Amino acid sequence: MDIKTVGMISSYSNIDKRGDWLWQQTPNHFGIWGNIKIQASAPNPDFMLMYQFDFPKKNQPQSWLDKLRRKSQKPEIDVGSRLRGVPKERVIYLLREPPLDEVVEKNKRYYQAAENYCGYISGPDDFAPFPDYMPAIWYIGNSFRELNEMPIPEKVAPCSWITSGINRTANHRQRLQFLESLQNNEIKFDLYGRNLPAWSKSSGELGGKWHGIAPYYYNLAIENYADNSWYVSEKLWDALLAWCLPIYYGGSAADKLLPPGSFLRLPSLDEKGIAYIQEVTSTPDAWYAAKDAIAEARQIILHKLNLLNWLSEFVAKSS
C-alpha cells in the first residue's frame, strides 16, 4: 500500500510542535492508519492539515504612528512557507472551535483566508464552506490498543465533572453559574479542572483526564456551545472511552453520530437540569442499562469518528 504522509500545523501551541501528534489514536507505530501516516513535522508531506490555524490579521498602516507600532510588533507569519510545498488541493483546513457569538466574525475571516491556501475547508458551523462535525480526537492518555481491548474499569464513585474557570464568553459564564448552582444545591459530584474559582470546591487540576473519569459511573459533559447541529467535542468522546455514561449538554450532532442510549441528555442548565442530575446519579441503574450502548459508541469513536480515519478516507478520495 502506498502510504501518504500528512503534515500538520496549528495555532494550538501545545500540539503545533509535537512530532507524535495523534499517534496514540492508532494501534500502529509512528501514526500509521491504513493508507496514511500522520507526521506533523514532516518536511515534505503529501497532504497538509491546518488544524484550528488562526490566520494572522493583515496589518494595514495608515499613518506614521501605525507604521511605528508595526515595527514593534512580531513579524507576520508566512503562511505559505509553512505549507511546505503541498499543493492547494491537498491542504485541509479544519476549524474546531465553536461559533460562539464573540468569535463568529473571526471564524468567518479564517474561512475566507483559508480559501487562498486550502482545497477543503470545514468547521462545525453553518457558515463554513463545508459544514461538518469535528472528527474525533480525545484527551485521555491511554493507547488505542488499550482502549479498544480493555475491560470495563472498576466504578467506585457516582459522578465527576472536568471543566475550567474560563469566563471570557457568555456561554462560559453560564456554565460557571450552573456549577455554582449545583454546589449550592449540594449535588454530589467530584470537580476537577484548571483555573477554577476559589469558591468551586475543586479537587484540583489533573495530570491525566482518565483519573477523573474512569472510576465514575457518570460524567457531566457540558459543551461550551449547544446551538447548532454540528458541534460536538472531546468532552463526549473522553467520557465514553472511559466507560462513563455522559450526562450531556450540547447540540444535536451527538444524536447523529452515536447510538441511542449511549448518553443522557441534560435538559437545561437550570433547576430542571439540577433535579435531573440529582435523580440520575442517585443510583447506578442508568449506567447498567446503558452498558451495551456505551460499548457500541466506543467502537464508533475509535474506528469511525477518529480523526485519523477521517484523514485516511479523505486521502483515499483524493488519490
Confidence of residue 170 (pLDDT cuts 50, 70, 90): very high
The pLDDT assigned to 62 comes to: 46
Classify residue 309: in a domain, yes or no. no
Same domain, 89 and 178: no
Whether pTM > 0.95 for this model: the answer is no
Question: Which grid cell is 205?
Answer: 487540576
Distance, in Å, from the CA atom of 244 to the CA atom of 236, rounded to the nearest integer, reads 10
The domain total for the chain is 2
Same domain, 42 and 105: yes
Of 60-74, 172-186, 240-254, 271-285, where does mean pLDDT reach its minimum?
Answer: 60-74
Distance, in Å, from the CA atom of 232 to the CA atom of 50, rounded to the nearest integer, reads 19
Q: Show the CA angle centred on residue 181, arms to residues 175 and 288, nearest 5°.
A: 80
Same domain, 41 and 163: no
Same domain, 152 and 285: yes
Same domain, 62 and 172: no
pLDDT, one tens digit per residue, over 50-66 is: 999 999 987 544 455 55
Distance, in Å, from the CA atom of 132 to the CA atom of 126, rounded to the nearest integer, reads 8
Classify residue 191: in a domain, yes or no. yes
Classify residue 39: in a domain, yes or no. yes
Q: What is the CATH number of the domain that holds 269?
A: 3.40.50.11660
The pLDDT assigned to 77 comes to: 72
Classify residue 174: in a domain, yes or no. yes
Same domain, 294 and 211: yes
Classify residue 316: in a domain, yes or no. no
Same domain, 83 and 157: no
Q: Which range marks the domain in which residue 83 is found?
A: 4-132
Q: For residues 239 and 246, is the Cβ–Cβ distance under 8 A?
A: yes
Same domain, 149 and 290: yes
Classify residue 227: in a domain, yes or no. yes
